[in-house]
Amino acid sequence: MADNIRICGLNKNFKGFTLENVTFDVPKGSVVGLIGENGAGKSTTIKSILGLVNPSGGRVEVFGKEVSALMAEEKGRIGAVLGETCLPENLNLKDIDGVMKHIFPQWDTGKFFSFADSFSLPRDKKVREFSRGMRQKVSLSVALSHGAEVLVLDEPTAGLDPVARDEILDLLYDFMQDEEHSILISSHIVSDLEKLCDYIAFLHNGRTMFFEEKDRLEEKYGIFRGTEEEVRALGRAVVKYTRGEYGCSALVLREEAPRELPLERAGIEDIMLYFVRGEKLC
Amino acid sequence: MLGTIIKDFKNIFGQFIYYFVLMVVFMAVSVITKNIYYYMGAIVFFCVAVPLSALAYDEKDNWDKFALASGVTRNQLAVSRYLLGLIVFLPMWAVSFILVAAGGMWNIENLSVLLSYGGIALLTIDAILPVVLKIGVEKGRLVYILTILIVIALGGVLAFLVEAIGGDSVLYSSVAVLALGIAGFFLSIKIACNIYRKKDF
């Protein structure tokens, strides 16, 4: 399967933070969820894909081309929703349409207002008067109205109520009906990612901890609860473990663990928490 | 780039009436007192005030991030700030020639003032925009105010020179100031493009 986005050994040095050797792909026809705690490097990775930061090293390719070499038409095939609204808040939707038709070569006014109407966004009201949820919907309406084949979404559902989040997820499902399309989405709302994603890329302290198929993660990891001695007895099957008031729990590699060992399902959030907060067996 | 400039005009549309009324007042004062310096000083003020207003909106809205992610290049973003300055400056400067001719003030001294202030306006854009693009509008406002004070002082010096020397030599000096402003304009754009090229958004 060809990749819409390829990130290979991405490095970026900031004062006090380094993104180091980040590597993952976003294949055509798939949704990749980018997870990690605050400051893990998710936004910097997304900004590198969109050409907003200059990487210190490594390669970021979109549609098989280095990001810095993309032409305006090719950039127009990427729909972006950044953490903040990033749209002129002094303008209303009609004004935004007037601006966007001169920004994107493939801008579709009909589509934009159709999304806006489906979200019940008033056309004459200035964006600054919108709620956070409405602003996110405007951003998404823009991202979906210029012939994008790849969506790069940084926290698109942050701060939204479950109904609004569900509406946005429905739109993303519709977008993925085309097998050439892809989505890279970062979010702290792991339940959204579990519904939507085919792959998960996990960043921690600026490094890729893993990049795996979501279903494979469930096959690969399980959670074991028991005493510290029982956890220690599992040896190299234990990836990370935590000590609690009533014993220990461990993220365990199913393949390495004894077949008869009772293991609970490990969700994406569990896996992330064990990787970040868990201890390694000495 | 056209989209960025259209966005700027839509963003600052509400301020146009305020700018327009001020311009008419300065024009009227210049005609009544037969002193073109008032209007020329206003040109210098406005040709920087408008791009700065647009930049302030952009900073608040994170527009640069959106534009770059959408296919606008770093160079186009930098150049669009200068184009906005020119779009404000050129018509106002053209009006100053009409004003001098229609107001019965056409002489070599006033022509020198028109040319000199054209150069000063461009030099002001040349000096302020790269600084603001580097350090941001809030911090850049201080530089803006300082530059305007320097321009006012230069205006005083210019008025004295025109009165004291007069004639062709002042005209030649004015042409030199204008040429300096035009050359500086291209140099300043180059500096601004370099600032944008290295910037992380």
Residues A63 and A188 in one domain: yes
Strand order across the beta sheet in which A65-66 lies? A17-27, A3-14, A57-62, A65-66
Distance CA A67, CA A53 (A): 11
Q: Assign residue A20 the CATH number of its domain.
A: 3.40.50.300
Question: Does residue A57 lie in a domain region?
Answer: yes
What is the dihedral sign for C-alpha A39, A40, A41, A46?
negative
Residues paired with A15 in a beta bridge: none
Over residues A34-72, the pLDDT tens digits come to: 999 988 999 999 999 999 999 999 999 999 999 989 988
A53 touches chain B (CB under 8 A): yes
Question: Does residue A211 lie in a domain region?
Answer: no
Question: Does residue A187 lie in a domain region?
Answer: yes
Q: Do A52 and B3 touch (CB under 8 A)?
A: no
Residues A53 and A178 in one domain: yes
- Mean pLDDT for A126-138 is 90
Residue A85 binned pLDDT confidence (cut-offs 50, 70, 90) = confident
Backbone φ and ψ for B24, nearest 5 degrees, come out as: -65, -40
pLDDT at A282 over 80: no
Could you give the percent of chain A with pLDDT greater than 90? 70
Question: Does residue A242 lie in a domain region?
Answer: yes
Domain extent for A272? 217-277
pLDDT at B64 over 70: yes
Over residues B84-143, the pLDDT tens digits come to: 999 999 999 999 999 888 888 888 888 988 999 999 999 999 999 999 999 999 888 888
Whole-angstrom distance between the N-terminal and C-terminal Cα of chain A? Answer: 40
Residues A58 and A103 in one domain: yes
pLDDT at B15: 86
Residues A140 and A174 in one domain: yes
Question: Does residue A210 lie in a domain region?
Answer: no
Residues A133 and A186 in one domain: yes
A147, closest residue in chain B (CA to CA) = B70
Residue B144 binned pLDDT confidence (cut-offs 50, 70, 90) = confident
Residue A1 binned pLDDT confidence (cut-offs 50, 70, 90) = low
Domain map (residue ranges) of chain B = 2-198
- Mean pLDDT for A78-96 is 91
Q: How would you classify residue A41: left for phi > 0, otherwise alpha for psi between -120 and 50, otherwise beta?
A: left
> Angle CA(A135)–CA(A140)–CA(A143) in degrees, nearest 5?
130
Cβ A99 vs Cβ A87: under 8 Å:
no
pLDDT at A237: 92
Question: Does residue A41 lie in a domain region?
Answer: yes
Q: Do B4 and A103 touch (CB under 8 A)?
A: yes
- Domain count of chain A? 2
Cβ A203 vs Cβ A235: under 8 Å:
no
CB atoms under 10 Å from CB of B15, counted, come to: 13
Q: Do B200 and A47 touch (CB under 8 A)?
A: yes
Could you give the percent of chain A with pLDDT greater than 70? 100
Q: How many helices (H) and strands (E) does chain B have?
A: 8, 0
Four-CA torsion A44, A45, A46, A52, nearest 10 degrees: 60
Q: Do A51 and B69 touch (CB under 8 A)?
A: yes
Distance CA A267, CA A59 (A): 31
Q: Which of residues A245 and A216 earns the better pLDDT score?
A: A216
Residues A57 and A193 in one domain: yes
Closest to A86 (Cβ–Cβ): which among B61, B71, B73?
Answer: B61
pLDDT at A101: 95
Residues A15 and A65 in one domain: yes
Residues A118 and A234 in one domain: no
CA distances from B149 to A67, B51, B133, B186 (A): 44, 19, 21, 24
pLDDT at A112 over 90: yes
Residues A195 and A249 in one domain: no
Over residues A7-25, the pLDDT tens digits come to: 999 999 988 899 999 999 9
Residues A171 and A252 in one domain: no
Question: Does residue A212 lie in a domain region?
Answer: no
**B 70-109: CB under 8 A from A:** 70-73
A99 touches chain B (CB under 8 A): yes
- Mean pLDDT for A81-96 is 90
What is the dihedral sign for C-alpha B30, B31, B32, B34?
positive
Distance CA B199, CA A131 (A): 31
Residues A22 and A77 in one domain: yes
Residues A72 and A102 in one domain: yes
CA distances from A23 to A10, A28, A30, A282 (A): 7, 17, 17, 28
